[in-house]
Structure 1
Amino acid sequence: MAEEEVRSFLRRLGEEFPSALGPEEPLPLRPLSRGPISLEELQGESLELGLRLLDTWSTPAELSALLCQAAVAKVLQSDLSPFHCPPETQPTQEQDQDQVQLLQSEPFQRFFLNTLREVGMAWHRTPPTLSPSSTSFVPLCFTHAIRNTRRKMEDRHLALAQFSQLFNLQDGVERRYYAVFDGHGGVDAATFASAHLQVCLSRQPELRSDAAAAFRHAFQLTDRMFRDKARRERLRSGSTGVAVLIQDQTLTLAWLGDSQALLVSQGNVVHLMEPHKPEREDERRRVEDLGGCVTFNGCWRVNGTYAVSRAIGDFDQKPYVSGEADCCTTQLSGVEDYLLLACDGFFDTVTPAEVPQLVLDVLGGGEGDAATGEGVAQKLVAHAREAGSSDNITVMVVFLRPPQSVLAQGRVASATTQPGPDNYNTQDASEQ
């Protein structure tokens, strides 16, 4: 972005946010938590609110990331004692929880947003320098999510193309983060994971050297943090999750439960993972070795309750429902088409082998800007619903090269082979 463009958006911030919020003035957006938050949750809660607010003003993603990062850094150096909860609202020893200092959510978030405004006003006078991307093509991400026939929408998703900027990781590595969470028994676990998993990941010292280990630790930490919140607020819910971190040309995938990710490279589905389901032989054996059981009641369930064998939350069935993520890492060569992340509401009725042709059909459909990738996720969700899915459905498609190139190569392949899904082979990531 040019300096004048940065100034223009910062001027817009001043117009939309002309004065600091007063002590009793309502927040422009509802914060993630109404109840008290811990110091450990402060960064995730603030970044989620700040990014969401700036998105309503169509602020460029990199500028949003830098603004939020700078505001959080300033807040963390401030005296937060005015926002401490009164002693009577602190957790007690009877709750079997370590003593932690809690903050009043709304007054603190009002302070954070005022700090965000201060940073923006200062930058309007002296704009920051935005570093140009070192890659010729920045991945395009399209997401579509529907409640479908369910009473509530319990899915959550997040795309952070400016992961390094948001967390001030100044090592010259471009990082992009994508995640889908599928909640059950309520939305609290999915909402919590979507706000905090990436923060936990950014704090792991081994992020650069061993991203898989960093992901495993981040999932465990997120699960433990949600346990603390669930105890304070008497929450009962769980969430599967699938998350991807791309560091330059290295893709690391981590998952819990039956949400899935697949990679399509030159029209071929690259097998990256096996979802965690109770009927999977190794998962059944793990549950039984712990003294639990896997039974069939409409579907396979752990101890007759949950239809997933790994998840964030579901504390009444820990450790049978494990909070330990599985991970895999693969090197990208530049010929990969796109990455798809989705919840089980999609994969219940759509097989991975069907995806490449479905995407090509949308790209070549000639409807509006179809060839740019717009509408791909929406069409995939619609296809899953028409195929019989009644669950919440979330689909995220991340194009790793221009959609027009994916379409052109697909047309060349179609001209030399008979049409049909069998033309799209499935290969393991280790074969690349």
Structure 2
Amino acid sequence: MNEKTFRRFLELFLREMRMPLQESDPPPMRPLSDLLTDDEVEGECLDLCLQHLYKYNCPCSLAAALARATADRLLQTDLSIHHLNKPVEEGADPLPQMESVKLAWLVFNRLFEVCCLWMEELPFRRRPQPYYETSIHAIKNMRRKMEDKHVIIPDFNTLFNLQVGTEQAYFGVFDGHGGVDAAVYAANHLHVNLVQQECFIQDPIEALCRAFRATDQGFVKKAKREHMRCGTTGVVTFLRGRTLYVAWLGDSQVLLVRKGQAVELMKPHKPDREDEKQRIEALGGCVIWFGTWRVNGSLSVSRAIGDSEHKPYICGEADHDVFPLDGSEDYLILACDGFWDTVNPDEAVSVVSDHLEENTGDTTMVAHKLVASARDAGSSDNITVIVVFLRDPRSPLLTAAGHVPSICVTKARIFTN
């Protein structure tokens, strides 16, 4: 993707934006939470930018670069003038807060400024990166509300301006319960917390676990301030070069497909899992049957971000694993329990294989097909599916000499619903 493509996007995007916003204008999007603290600004800004740019089919690397530049400009702004003068409740965390609508107004005006500057002189040059063509689909299904959130960052280095030699990518699915707030918070802040860990460069998996812990602690404090009672499961995959790092809480899951075969990467946290049951009972809790196995008769997962009223039985410590990649891997499927409860791994692989064969390797609607298969199999829950291709499905896996080719392809596309 060259400079001409980027300039063409900027030209069309600026024409559509109709900016800058005036004080009375509603922003194109706003954060789902009503109030924000200063330490939430970066995550919220990046999320607003990426969501809005992806909506206009912005190339993912350019979207990451624009989001980073916008966040940097915003973080250099004195936000204290926008803080609310609110009395602090007794025992509450006295952090200054601002209205999310005000932040959104600031974000989109900064994004507009960056796009105008880059139209005159484009400072961003796309670096080669691994092949991560990505298909996403998410539906509310038969539930009253959509409580899932997902994150796709194929160009992690650009989003955080990381000057490292190895390319990195990040994908996550968060399945909220009791409301969407915990899922939104985790989706917006876990990757920011990841980069902020001191051990991020040397020990990514430890950094991931610490990021889950920090995200849990941050949301518990927010929930207390804003009187929220909810939680979220989460599964995150972090790719650094030829290594896959996986961390998770609860029953959202990721599956690796290698040479057309499903490879189990993790075991979900369910209350009836023997080690989880023993942990809960050792803390004085119980696991009982109430339509399904539940912690203290309430939640059907045993680990989650949030759910402060159920801690320590609902644990905020993530499980994790590390997997070396050799180039024979086809793709990853990340999905919430609304998918995995009705579609097993082999069935998921069959759906993807059939679709690719019928459509000559076109991945555009792969996630839609997977979501439809779960719905047709009886799922009534929210369903979110992300398929991350680790190599080009239109290319044969093996060369004529029988060697595994490199997965490094300078291309990344994102397909959303």
TM norm structure 1: 0.88
Distance 1:18 1:374, change over 3 A: closer
**More helix as a share of residues:** 1
In 2, are the aligned partners of 1:32 and 1:49 still within 8 Å (CA)? Answer: no
| 1:184 matched to 2:177 | yes
Stretch deviating more after TM superposition (253-262 or 108-117): 108-117
Aligned to 1:12: 12
| 2:69 equivalent in structure 1 | 70
User: What's the counterpart of residue 341 of structure 1?
Assistant: 334
| Equivalent of residue 359 in structure 1, options 335, 352, 355 | 352
Residue 83 of structure 2 aligns with an amino acid whose one-letter code is: H
Q: Distance in 2 between matches of 1:289 and 1:282?
A: 11
Aligned to 1:416: none
**1:188 Cα shift?**
1.3
Matched, 1:100 2:90: no
CA distance in 2, matches of 1:406, 1:312: 41
2 CA distance for matches of 1:392 and 1:106? 27
Q: Which of 288, 292, 304 lines up with 1:299 in the alignment?
A: 292
**Distance apart, 1:219 and its partner CA:** 0.8
Structure 1 residues 267 and 36, CA gap change in structure 2 (3 angstroms): same
Q: Give how far 1:370 is off.
A: 5.5
Of 145-154 and 289-298, more deviation after overlay is shown by 145-154
Aligned position for 2:38:
39
Contact residue 266 and residue 406 of structure 1 kept, 8 A: no
* Conserved 8 A contact 1:146-1:392: yes
CA distance in 1, matches of 2:13, 2:376: 42
The alignment yields a C-alpha RMSD, in angstroms, of 1.8
Count of aligned residue pairs for this structure pair: 399
Secondary structure of the corresponding residue to residue 394 of structure 2: helix
- CA separation of 1:17 and 1:152: change in aligned 2, threshold 3 A: closer
One-letter code aligned to 1:67: L
Residue identity opposite 2:24 in structure 1: E
Quote the Cα distance in structure 2 between the aligned partners of 1:223 and 1:303.
Answer: 20
Structure 1: 4+ residue segments shifted above 4 A:
406-409
The residue that corresponds to 1:278 in the other structure is 271
Name the amino acid aligned to 1:62.
Answer: S
CA distance in 2, matches of 1:186, 1:319: 20
The separation in 1 between residues aligned to 2:212 and 2:283, in whole angstroms, is 21
Aligned partner of 2:394 among 391, 395, 404: 404
Q: C-alpha separation between the residues in 2 aligned to 1:62 and 1:80? A: 28
Q: Which amino acid aligns with 2:269?
A: H
Q: Distance in 1 between matches of 2:346 and 2:11?
A: 48
Q: 1: distance between equivalents of 2:124 and 2:150?
A: 30
Structure-2 separation of matches of 1:345 and 1:57 = 28
One-letter code aligned to 1:40: D
Deviation of 1:357 after TM superposition, in Å, equals 2.3
Tell me what 2:188 maps to: 195
Please give the alpha-carbon distance, in whole angstroms, between the structure 2 residues aligned to 1:109 and 1:372: 36
**Alignment partners' CA distance in 2, 1:36 and 1:237:** 17
Q: Which residue of 2 is the match for residue 55 of structure 1?
A: 54
Cα 1:378–1:165, aligned 2, differ >3 Å: closer, same or farther? same
Residues 380/19 of structure 1: CA separation in 2 closer, same or farther (3 Å cut): closer
Q: Which amino acid aligns with 1:192?
A: Y
Task: State the distance in 1 between where 2:142 and 2:18 align.
Answer: 42
SS in 1 for 2:200: coil
Which protein has greater RCO, CA pairs closer than 8 Å, 6+ apart? 2
SS in 2 for 1:177: strand
In the alignment, does 2:229 pair up with 1:236? Answer: yes
In structure 2, what residue type is equivalent to 1:6?
A: F
**1:150 match:** 143
Q: Distance in 1 between matches of 2:291 and 2:313?
A: 19
- Give, in angstroms, the shift of residue 18 of structure 1: 4.4
| 1:408 CA displacement | 9.6
Letter paired with 1:60? P
Q: Percent identity?
A: 47
Q: Tell me the secondary structure at the aligned position of residue 284 of structure 2.
A: coil
1:311 aligned partner, one-letter code? A
- How far the C-alpha of 1:315 sits from its partner, in A, is 1.1
Please name the residue that 1:371 is paired with: 361
Q: What is the aligned partner in structure 1 of residue 410 from structure 2?
A: none
The question of whether the paired residues in 1 share the 8 Å contact of 2:271 and 2:302 is answered with: yes
1:230-265 CA deviation, whole Å, 9 max, x = no partner? 122211111111110101111000100011111111
Deviation, structure 1 residue 358: 2.5
The 2-side partners of 1:14 and 1:150 are apart by: 37
Of 126, 130, 133, which residue of structure 1 is paired with 2:128?
133
Which digits, 9 at most, give the CA deviation of each residue in 1:213-241, with x for residues without a partner?
Answer: 11111111111111122122211111111
Q: Is the 8 A contact 2:173 2:236 kept in 1?
A: yes
Alignment partners' CA distance in 2, 1:108 and 1:154: 23
Deviations 1:91-144 (A, max 9, x none): 33x1x2332121232223212221221121111111113133144xx2111112
TM-score scaled by length of structure 2 = 0.91
Distance 1:406 1:152, change over 3 A: farther
1:254 aligns to what?
247
1:115 aligns with 2:110: yes
3-state SS, counterpart of residue 361 of structure 2: helix
* Alpha-carbon distance in 2 for matches of 1:163, 1:66: 10
> Where does residue 78 of structure 2 map in the other structure?
79
Please tell me whether the aligned partners of residues 36 and 85 of structure 1 are also in contact (alpha carbons under 8 angstroms). no
State whether residues 93 and 221 of structure 2, in contact with CA within 8 Å, keep that contact through their aligned partners in structure 1.
no
Distance apart, 1:159 and its partner CA? 0.9
User: Could you tell me which amino acid in structure 1 is paired with residue 68 of structure 2?
Assistant: Q
Q: Larger Cα Rg: Structure 1 or Structure 2?
A: 1
1:253 is paired with a residue whose SS is strand
| Match status 1:383 vs 2:373 | yes
Say if 1:310 and 1:322, in contact at 8 Å, map to a contact too.
Answer: yes
CA distance in 1, matches of 2:245, 2:23: 44
